[in-house]
Amino acid sequence: MNAPIRELTYAQAIQEALATAMEADERVFLMGEDIGVYGGAFQVTGDLVHRFGEDRVMDTPISELGAAGIAVGAALAGSRPILEFQFSDFAALAMEQIVNQAAKMRFMLGGKVSVPLVMRLPSGSGTGAAAQHSQSLEAWLAHVPGLKVVQPSTPHDAKGLLLAAIDDPDPVMVFEHKLLYKMKGEVPEEAYRIPIGKAVVRRKGRHVTIVATSIMVHRALEAAEVLAGEGIEAEVIDLRTLRPLDTATIIESVKKTTRLACVYEGVKTLGIGAEISALIAESEAFDYLDAPILRLGGVDSPIPYNPTLEKAAVPQTSGIIEQVRNLVKGRI
Amino acid sequence: MPIEVILPKVDMDMATGKIAKWHVKEGDAVKKGGLLFEIETDKAAMEIDAPSDGIIRNITAFEGAIVPVGQAVALIYQDGESASAPVAAQPLPPVKPITPAPRPDAEQPAVLPAAAASGRFPATPLARRLAKQAGITLENIAGSGPRGRIAAIDVQGALAKPAAPQRVEPGSFEVIPLDGMRRTIAQRLTLSKQTVPHFYLTVNCDLTRLSEIREILNAQAPRDAQKLPVWKLSINDFIIKAMASALKQVPDANVTWADEGIHRHHSCDVGVAVAVEGGLFTPVVRAAETKSLSQVSKEMKDLATRARARKLLPAEYQGGTTTISNLGMYGIEQFTAIINPPHATILAVGAAMERFVPVNGLPVLRTQMTCTLSCDHRAVDGALGAQLLAAFRTFIEEPALMLA
Amino acid sequence: MAKPVAMMKGDAAGNQRPFYAQFSPEQLKEALRRMCLIRRFEEGAEEAYMRGLIHGTMHLSIGQEASAVGATMALRKTDYITSTHRGHGHCIGKGADPKLMFAEFFGKEEGYCRGRGGSMHIADVESGNLGANGIVAGGIPIAVGAALAIKKQKRDDVALCFFGDGATNEGAFHEALNMASIWKLPVIFVCENNKYGMSVSTERSMAVANVADRASAYNMPGIIADGNRIEDVAEAVLTAIARARQGQGPSLVECKTYRTRGHSRSDRNRYRTKEEIEEWKLRDPIGHFEAELVANGVATADEIAAIFAAADAEIAAGLIFAQNGTDPSPNEVTRDVYTPGIPA
């Protein structure tokens, strides 16, 4: 059968995916700041430079825009680059190349080219890194046609989604949550791919659907466990991919439970929850809704430094429990 | 400086507390650690003790008041301190609108009529669809959600009880099939009314002493491990005990009718009518004359609870030598009850009412309770019935006699 | 700081330039043909636009034909170029078919970008043209990326990057040149300095006098060429190409040139004088090259006339081809956003 199951951290799972891809395909190479001998700011690339050499694990100067453009050019000319942003916040510097070039090249050129690049973005709050190093900007990029955006929530998914992203002929943005890097989980040794654009039901339930992303999947599952003790069975869906969105899985679940809560770290206003809410309201699931759609997202403020405020700025398990309970009990 | 008595936070997530009962009043001397008041919480009532010795004054929140956590509700003055105008407390945080913290258990949903004048009914999409599928309008469905929103559960409720018709047709009705209890009541009481020669005796019982004693007994009730009082006697408990004591004193009235002969019972088994949904049960407190008030009380509470849940065993509601029916809680002043055969008596108890009675030629306000004894003349003659009722009255008006 | 190397302004008479030895007469006549094609193409596009046949706007490169052709004439099909919003000339220089370019401008399915890109995104991927770019300096890091891929694939191709003077003030320019240099990538940076960003002159916007002055900051050669003389441009670029193919890294070539038309069709030309425009018209690159070819005995006047006539005919036919093209269907508005076969 398959190779034995063992536990890796989320960061190790990503490293394994990178190594696997580089071993299998000589076109694949890595670019990023401090990913060589330093091993990456979050120690994801680790010792890859010793295994594959500086040509394939390239330290760039601090030039996010230039590096992103180089990734685009290299992808157009037959390479398969994987660019690491040290913090997802720095993607703002590279937005020109990501949004105006990578996302649009194929379309503007009438489908005659593809841009098979991957950009990896350590994302999210909780480390006290404050406003400019803690954002969750996946909704920004999911808003851009031409890009694909994924958010793995477990080590298993981190490896599988990254391998799928590397294989994908179109540009894929992989948002990794910083607090998950040390999370341990079962990761098969062999190479496997998790299809981009497919969500997964992490927990079945019949009273309410909770759609969550990234670290919020874990908080939603904790909340579901507590709520189960009160007789409230929550179905938790891990979106995994933001663009393209697996609308079918969400619709099917909401038709069954009649209630929907979206839990995500990005700012609530105009975030992924807003899209899911509207999507459900437009879909056949509308006639099955027995309660308003609840969104639990980040507050409308930059991420604060103070740890209490930092926690208060994004959904926590206790808040999820309370709000979902209110939703199910018809108080909202 | 007087010491503030605040409403303390006792539960997590508690924002306000409701004062259930004060145990002291304005001007009382209090000791540090002594009980001042109780607050009502999700769990048991919480007793709040005095933070110091002194005289308690300036009580600003009374029973039933809902007070924000941390707010002062009274002041304790030391000897020599004058009670000036209520001391300006340190600035409190602005009182939030009183909304008790949401409780994990289901509360009674606020059932509001959903209609607005414009004829729009807030309803969830699912509710609308279910209503449409069932062919009913949302008009007469009460919504349990916020702002009167109709949810699926409300539609399902409306479909389950086809009760309220949209418009009452003159002369229209619905047929409610008879269940076992209804049949039994119909059969037995018709038989009773048709075959038992009833006569009725009425007395007014003064409740002054009973009230005093009841209060003393309840106030001094010992506490159990959860700090709850071991007993909480009701007037009805006294009535049961008094009736049993009266029957013991007038044993010829403790009888039931049978064709072969009157059965004179050795113990006074008092049945107590308990209203349940759709009918009533009459659980029996056996040998009530041998039981203390607290025992009667405890037993009655249990029987009544299980009667309402329809969980009584037949042995618990069959037999008995008399019945007590108390409609006082509905404000009924006086009524006559129908005897439960084969009993020879039934006591109908009315509400406790304040009346002016002549005492030494002057009108005095007394609290009285009018009781009417129905007797089966085949087993209990007028004088016997009167004796029984008089004994009952005596025990009610002087409960201490039940100790002898 | 090394001074940029200025090229000799060639004489019409006297010593033959290396240019005439580096390229065969056929290649030289082909170069003229392409310059004519560009000129006629731009004029044709301009007229079609003025008649309301073309949607959007256009950025014409009339007057810059020498830099476009001079830079591309030495490239192979497998070499890459990236271009600017003013990229029609580069496109033709790299071998594009004008009728397919017109079809693109008319938004037809037969266009190079199937009507999805328009003038500013015109590309011919099969010929190595990775596209015009609507973002100033957008193509510069992309060209460096293509050069990186070339080096990784151990090819001896090059990437040639066109950009204007304004682009050299963008951060992307500096980041890209820096990385091209530290990694010694085979890229040639060709700046067409036409003295103006949109309306703001280089004197007012650039801290240094010449774009080529910036090359030393990134440790690469910076060469100034007369952008209106094809031989200047071609010789400079050839040197840079040779350097790149030999693995010695990038170079920057600055072509001093001028656009006689406004920045785009909506330009009112308020920022320059009529005199300036007229002065530069006298230095017309095509006129100069025609004269040079005759003087060097490469082509006769008749041959040149024939080249012009053929260019006219090709442009005319191209316009008709484009106008008769297929309009895309609104049902296919989201086609080619993603690669098919992958869920999207």
Strands ordered across the beta sheet of C80-82: C5-6, C222-226, C251-256, C187-193, C159-164, C80-82
Tell me the domains of chain A and their CATH numbers.
Answer: 7-188 (3.40.50.970), 200-328 (3.40.50.920)
CB distance from B129 to chain A under 8 Å? yes
- Active-site residue numbers of A? 64, 133
Residue B117: per-residue pLDDT = 43
CATH topology of domain B196-403: Chloramphenicol Acetyltransferase (3.30.559)
pLDDT tens sequence across B165-205? 567 778 888 888 888 888 888 999 999 999 999 999 999 99
Arithmetic mean of pLDDT, B313-333: 93
Interchain pair B146, A289: CB under 8 A: no
pLDDT tens sequence across C149-164? 999 999 999 999 999 9
Residue B278: per-residue pLDDT = 83
Identified catalytic residue from B23, B198, B265, B377? B377
**Closest alpha carbon to A296 in A313, A279, A278:** A313
CA distance to B195, C89, C202, per residue, from C62 (Å): 124, 9, 20
**Closest alpha carbon to C99 in C59, C27, C45:** C45
B and C make contact (3+ CB pairs below 8 Å): no
Per DSSP, the residues of C201-213 read: BHHHH-SSS-GGG
- Cα-to-chain-centroid distance, residue B161: 28
CATH topology of domain B3-77: OB fold (Dihydrolipoamide Acetyltransferase, E2P) (2.40.50)
CB distance from B251 to chain A under 8 Å? no
**Closest alpha carbon to C37 in C311, C306, C286:** C311
E strands present in C159-305:
159-164, 187-193, 222-226, 251-256
Nearest to A288 among B102, B126, B144 (CB): B126
Q: Which amino acid is at B130?
A: L
Interchain pair B153, A289: CB under 8 A: no
For residue A244, say if its preceding peptide bond is cis, omega within 30 degrees of 0: yes
Crossing angle for the helix pair A155-167 and A10-24, nearest 10 degrees? 30
pLDDT tens sequence across B342-384? 999 999 999 999 999 999 999 999 999 999 999 999 999 999 9
Is residue C45 within 8 Å of C102, Cβ to Cβ? yes
- Cα-to-chain-centroid distance, residue B290: 25
Size of interface A-C (CB pairs under 8 A): 169
> What does DSSP assign to residue C214?
G
Tell me the domains of chain C and their CATH numbers.
Answer: 5-323 (3.40.50.970)
Task: Note the pTM of the prediction, 2 decimals.
Answer: 0.66
Residues of chain A neighbouring B104 (CB-CB closer than 8 A): 230, 325
CA pair distance C189, C253, nearest whole angstrom: 6
Residue C204 has pLDDT above 90, yes or no: no
pLDDT tens sequence across B12-66? 556 778 898 899 999 999 988 888 998 886 555 677 888 888 999 989 888 888 8
Locate the chain A residue with the closest alpha carbon to B152.
A290
Is residue C123 within 8 Å of C150, Cβ to Cβ? no
CA pair distance C53, C107, nearest whole angstrom: 10
DSSP run (H or E) holding B375: strand B362-376
Domain spans, chain B: 3-77, 132-163, 196-403
Residue B119 has pLDDT above 60, yes or no: no
Please give the share of chain A, as a percent, with pLDDT higher than 70. Answer: 99
Partner B, chain A 247-306, Cβ-Cβ below 8 Å: 258, 286-291
* Total Cβ atoms within 10 A of residue B63: 12
pLDDT tens sequence across A22-48? 999 999 999 999 999 999 999 999 999
Is residue A150 within 8 Å of A167, Cβ to Cβ? no
- Least confidently predicted of A212-226, B171-185, B225-239, C80-94: B171-185
Higher pLDDT, B120 or A73: A73
Is residue B223 within 8 Å of B390, Cβ to Cβ? no
Q: To which residue do tokens 């960003």 refer?
A: C197
